Homo-oligomer: A and B are copies of this chain.
Amino acid sequence: MARQSQTSTAVLGVLSIESATGYEIRRAIAEILGHFWHESFGQIYPCLAELESAGLIRSRPGERAGSSRFEITSAGRRRLRELLAEPATPQPPRNGTLLRTFFGHALPPADLGRLLDEVESQARGHLSAYGAIRDGIAAEDGYDEHGPYWEATIRAGELAAGAQLTWVVETRAALLGSPVS
**A positions within 8 Å CB-CB of B:** 6, 9-10, 13, 16, 33-38, 77, 80-81, 84-85, 87-108, 111, 114-115, 118, 145-146, 148-153, 155-157, 159-160, 162-164, 166-167, 170-171, 174-175
Contacts and interface: CB of A to CB of B under 8 A. Distances in A.
Given A85-B111, A149-B105, A98 B156 contact: yes
B167 A99 contact: no
A147 to B, nearest CB: 9
- Please give the count of copies of this chain that the complex contains: 2
Contacts of A146: 102, 105
A111 B84 contact: yes
Contact of A160 (B35, B111, B149, B160): B160
Contacts of A77: 106
